[in-house]
């Protein structure tokens, strides 16, 4: 039987809509390109050390858990620090790295400076500091000091106060300083802590954490916990605020 073409003209087979072809080919390409672009943006951000400080941890009063965590890392994870043994000096390096990483743009949002290196056992040891820049009198410098070769609690308090005050504004610059106190004492004729002052900067005051019942010697260090340090951290932050407000 022959095919009935009705009007005598054979029907052409239906052709696919060109728009569908474009969609079928273009959609996978678009997804591939957009995914690649997103991954490239993520990689670029991960390589950028100058992170927006607004993305760092928020400025808040010291919490017990935060204090406890820092104490645990310094005393238990890193281990005892001293200048006489290789292990003690190795732990000192690790403590410096912890301070650096805690204050850094990725955590507390500060630009970390290291300088005024002192020598011990053939090695060079830095003073570490960060600045909370002053608004009206930035060349006047208030030091907030903690010795990284002494009390774990002092370092913990100074770090906590740096985070506490980070988003506040003050007239002078507050400089949080972490230094090797024994080396400064031994080399006092050559180095002073105020040597970290820049040109035209003037030293206004020096504040250190107050730890009842603890002396500067390693044998006199007492055991602390986060709950015990919490009121001391709050009080220290208030001392710094008061000093930075005074003329």
pLDDT of residue 28: 56
Average pLDDT, the chain: 81
Cα–Cα distance for residue pair 3/113, rounded to 1 Å: 90
Question: Which is more confidently placed, 222 or 167?
Answer: 167
| Cβ-contact 203, 197 below 8 angstroms | yes
| CB-count exposure of residue 187 (10 Å: 0-12, 13-18, 19+) | middle
Residue tagged 């506040």 (tokens)? 168
Question: Per the confidence metrics, is the pTM higher than 0.85?
Answer: no
How many CA atoms within 13 Å lie on the side-chain side of 163? 25
> By mean pLDDT, which of 8-17, 190-199, 210-219 is the weakest?
8-17
Question: Which is more confidently placed, 30 or 134?
Answer: 134
Tell me the per-residue pLDDT of 17-38, one tens digit each, with 9 for 90 and over: 555 555 555 555 555 555 555 5
pLDDT of residue 135: 94
Is the pLDDT confidence value at 46 over 50? Answer: no
CATH of domain 57-245: 3.40.630.10
Residue tagged 């020096």 (tokens)? 206
| Cβ-contact 116, 159 below 8 angstroms | no
DSSP secondary structure code for residue 15 in this structure: P
Would you state the structure tokens that stand for residue 155, as one six-digit string? Answer: 């370092």
Strand-pair partners of 222:
none
pLDDT of residue 188: 74
Would you state the structure tokens that stand for residue 198, as one six-digit string? Answer: 């820049």
């Amino acid at each position: 039987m022959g095919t009935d073409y009705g009007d005598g003209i054979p029907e052409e087979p239906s052709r696919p809509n060109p728009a569908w072809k474009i969609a079928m080919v273009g959609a996978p390409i678009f997804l591939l390109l957009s995914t690649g672009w997103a991954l490239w943006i993520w990689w670029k951000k991960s390589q950028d050390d100058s992170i927006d400080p607004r993305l760092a941890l928020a400025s808040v009063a010291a919490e017990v858990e935060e204090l406890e965590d820092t104490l645990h890392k310094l005393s238990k994870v890193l281990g005892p620090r001293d200048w006489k043994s290789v292990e003690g000096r190795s732990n000192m390096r690790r403590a410096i790295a912890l301070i650096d990483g805690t204050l850094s743009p990725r955590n507390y949002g500060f630009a970390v400076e290291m300088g005024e290196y002192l020598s011990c056992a053939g090695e060079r040891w830095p003073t570490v500091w960060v600045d909370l820049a002053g608004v009206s009198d930035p060349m006047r410098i208030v030091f907030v000091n903690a010795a990284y070769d002494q009390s774990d609690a002092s370092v913990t308090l100074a770090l906590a106060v740096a985070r506490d005050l980070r988003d506040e504004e003050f007239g002078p610059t507050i400089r949080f300083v972490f230094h090797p106190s024994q080396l400064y004492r031994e080399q006092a004729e050559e180095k002073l802590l105020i040597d970290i002052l820049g040109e035209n900067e003037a030293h206004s005051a020096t504040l250190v954490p107050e730890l009842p019942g603890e002396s500067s010697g390693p044998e006199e260090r007492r055991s602390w916990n986060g709950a015990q340090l919490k009121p001391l951290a709050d009080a220290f932050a208030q001392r710094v605020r008061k000093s930075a407000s005074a003329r």
